[in-house]
Amino acid sequence: MKLTLRVWRQKNADAPGAMATYEVDGISEDMSFLEMLDTLNEELILRGEDPVAFDHDCREGICGACSLVINGDAHGPERTTSCQLHMRSFEDGDTIDVEPWRAAAFPVVRDLVVDRSAFDRIIQAGGYISAPTGSAPEAHATPVPKADADFAFEHAECIGCGACVAACPNGSAMLFTSAKVNHLNVLPQGAPERETRVLDMVRVMDEEGFGGCTLTGECATACPKGIPLPSIAAMNKEWLRANRKAPRRG
């Protein structure tokens, strides 16, 4: 396959960026999208040019590092991560646009690499259950109904890649935040911090500069792990409930 790539190039966070055009040839349809970029980078290095920087690590769709907007779609045309997208999804002679995640809360680091530490700060605000090592009761002390365990798992699958933010026209992080809130809030172990968790996480989510949710559903369509859109409604419910119940002082 022969392809034309238009790739966002930006030296660092402060430098201006622009799309640059590259031709790549000899692309096999068995290659993953990132292996296609590897091929381009090998050529760029030998030509004495800077290779295209992009985040990637596990290349099996679970670490959440890869983060490419391909032809306007977060992670490209298939419902998967960029690393699990294969070139057979494209045709010989195609022109492919590759851009970084775009959000005020995800500033560009270089080329296609963005800073997603805002997600870490949302988790730090309450995306955990306080269970210091050694303090745990016997695992079978608290049975969890299977339906609740499955609901928790479905939301715990989030890989924190940020495709939801990249796809949302408002750059909203509601799907990411709701996935963690729902995972922990449905479990009996998460109950003691149920109210503070959702209030603190939503507060920090807003402070990080993500947009609001207008329920366009783009996030859930882009999510490589299939976190469902009703996850957001479930978090809204938790948030409203927490405002009714949370103790208020000062």
Partner 1 sequence: MTYLDYEIGAPIKDEKAPGGPVAERWDRRRFEAKLVNPANRRKHTVIVVGTGLAGGSAGATLAEQGYRVVQFCYQDSPRRAHSIAAQGGINAAKNYRNDGDSVHRLFYDTVKGGDFRARESNVHRLAQISVEIIDQCVAQGVPFAREYGGLLDTRSFGGVQVSRTFYARGQTGQQLLLGAYQALSRQIAAGNVEMHPRTEMLDLIVVDGRARGIVARDLISGEISTHFADAVVLASGGYGNVFYLSTNAMNSNATAIWRAHRRGAYFANPCFTQIHPTCIPRTGDHQSKLTLMSESLRNDGRIWVPRARGDRRPPHEIPEDERDYYLERIYPSFGNLVPRDIASRAAKNVCDEGRGVGPGGQGVYLDFADAIRRMGRKAVEEKYGNLFDMYERITAENPYEVPMRIYPAVHYTMGGLWVDYDLQTTVPGLFAIGEANFSDHGANRLGASALMQGLADGYFVLPSTINDYLARAPRSEPVAEDHPAVREAVTGTRDRLARLLAVDGDRTPDSFHREVGELMWEFCGMARTEEGLRKALDRIPRIREEFWRRIKVPGTGEEFNQSLEKANRIVDYLELAELMCLDALHRSESCGGHFREESQTPDGEAARKDDEFAYAAAWEFTGGAPVLHKEDLVFEYVHPTQRSYA
Partner 2 sequence: MALASRTDRKPSLPRTFWRSTVGKKTVMAVSGLIMIAYLVAHVMGNLKVFFGPGEFNAYGHWLRTMGEPVLHYEWGLWITRVVLLTAVIAHGVSAYQLSRRDIRARPTAYVHKRRHASYATRTMRWGGVIVALFIVWHILDLTTLTVNPNAQAGHPYENVVATFSTWYGNVIYIVAMLAVGLHIRHGFWSAAQTLGVGNASRDRALKALANGLALVLTAGFVSVPVAVMTGVVS
Tell me how far CA of residue 220 lies from CA of 14, 41, 178, 216, in angstroms.
31, 32, 12, 9
Q: What is the dihedral of CA 117, 55, 226, 171, to 10 degrees?
A: 50
Residue 88 or 245: which CB sits closer to partner 1?
88
Bridge partner list, 97: 6
| C-beta atoms surrounding 10 within 10 Å | 18
- Helix, strand, coil distribution of the chain in percent, nearest 5: 40, 15, 45
Q: What is the rounded distance in angstroms from the CA atom of residue 141 to the CA atom of residue 214? A: 41
Residue with tokens 């992670």: 75
Q: Are 64 and 164 in contact (CB under 8 A)?
A: no
Give the phi and the psi of residue 214 in degrees, each rounded to 5: -115, 20
The answer to the question of residue 162 lying near partner 2 (CB under 8 A) is no
**Whole-number minimum distance, CB 92 to partner 2, in Å?**
20
**Whole-number minimum distance, CB 94 to partner 2, in Å?**
13
**Which of partner 1, partner 2, none binds 238 (CB below 5-8 Å, type-dependent)?**
partner 2
Residue 51 or 217: which CB sits closer to partner 1?
51
**Which of partner 1, partner 2, none binds 191 (CB below 5-8 Å, type-dependent)?**
none
**Whole-number minimum distance, CB 225 to partner 2, in Å?**
16
Q: Map the footprint of partner 1 across residues 101-130, applying CB under 8 A.
A: 109-110, 113, 115-117, 119-120, 123-125, 127-130
Among 13, 226, 243, 245, binds partner 2 (CB under 8 A): 243
Show Cβ contacts of residue 236 under 8 Å, excluding neighbours closer than 6 positions.
Answer: none
Number of shown-chain residues binding partner 2 (CB under 8 A): 55
The answer to the question of residue 236 lying near partner 2 (CB under 8 A) is yes
Quote the tokens at residue 119: 């997600």
SS3 at position 22: strand
**Which of partner 1, partner 2, none binds 102 (CB below 5-8 Å, type-dependent)?**
partner 2
**Whole-number minimum distance, CB 12 to partner 2, in Å?**
15
Q: Are 164 and 100 in contact (CB under 8 A)?
A: no
Residue 60 or 207: which CB sits closer to partner 2?
207
The answer to the question of residue 79 lying near partner 2 (CB under 8 A) is no
**Chain contacts with partner 2 (rule: CB under 8 A):** 6, 8, 19, 69, 71-73, 97, 99, 102-105, 124, 126, 130, 132, 167, 169-172, 196, 199-200, 202-203, 205-206, 209-216, 218, 228, 230, 232-241, 243, 246, 248-250
